[in-house]
Structure 1
């Protein structure tokens, strides 16, 4: 079940931070970069992010989450995380499809991930995203920005 996470609820924020730590530590290992910004978040930085957060719950336990921001020109998926014990169960795909359904038709959807994060790269390509800009964030460490256009009929 996917539902909005209340960033004013301390228990929900702490649960989100715990999930974020577990998930992004895996990405940090995959791309060889320990300075991933989500690893440095606090309840305050999450509340101040301007992002909407939605959680994927299984038996009332938060096992995945996604966040996004939208403006007139684009819809940005800021974070996508799944508890490592729940990898490869389709949770990331369900969260991605949910977020896409929130984007206005015709809006450019953008998401970025570490270029060497092969599971995330495969996920975005599978869902119809096109790799675009590659940005070096540290010597030898790059992020790839993926994009697609939201539509109303089929987001795949």
Structure 2
């Protein structure tokens, strides 16, 4: 799933020869402390979201969709799931600066651009944050 989606992103970023996510070995997926959530369509895994969460923040490590299922709202459903199930004060995500579809998705969900930089691999990246207001406790009914 990751490799198929990342091939498309590498082309978007003009980084087919030097895109680190495409070089991520299977052992890195197995030996990680991140959490994976999948989205199934007709019993087929078509999208995966990888997150790293603690009490202060939730970071979207990756969000990939099978290219055959692009533009069907699946990434948005995974983000909605995230916001409904994680009450973090801060959500963060990074992507390539030329990944217009991902940037549009994150902005649509309220993420704000906070940083732009050039990586050692020659890929320009952007970082986004979304703050989540603390839940208001309802006063007890007397």
1:100-153 Cα offsets, whole Å, 9 max, x none, are: 223224x21000100000000100111110011112114652110000013578
C-alpha separation in 2, matches of 1:46 and 1:146 = 23
1:128 paired residue among 96, 110, 117? 110
Partner of 2:67: 84
SS in structure 2 opposite 1:49? coil
Residues paired across the two proteins, number? 134
Q: Give the TM-score taking structure 2 as reference length.
A: 0.86
Q: Give the TM-score taking structure 1 as reference length.
A: 0.79
Measure how far apart 1:88 and its partner are.
Answer: 0.3
The structure with the greater share of residues assigned to helix is 1
Greater C-alpha radius of gyration: 2
In structure 2, list runs of 5 or more residues that go unmatched.
136-142
Task: Please give the residue correspondences for 1:68-79 in structure 2 after superposition, counting only pairs within 5 Å.
Answer: 68-79=51-62
In structure 1, list runs of 5 or more residues that go unmatched.
1-18
Task: Please give the residue correspondences for 1:89-104 in structure 2 after superposition, counting only pairs within 5 Å.
Answer: 89-104=72-87
C-alpha separation in 2, matches of 1:25 and 1:56 = 20
The answer to whether the 8 A contact 2:19-2:121 is kept is no
C-alpha separation in 2, matches of 1:101 and 1:73 = 16
Measure how far apart 1:95 and its partner are.
Answer: 0.8
The answer to whether the 8 A contact 2:13-2:123 is kept is yes
Partner of 2:140: none
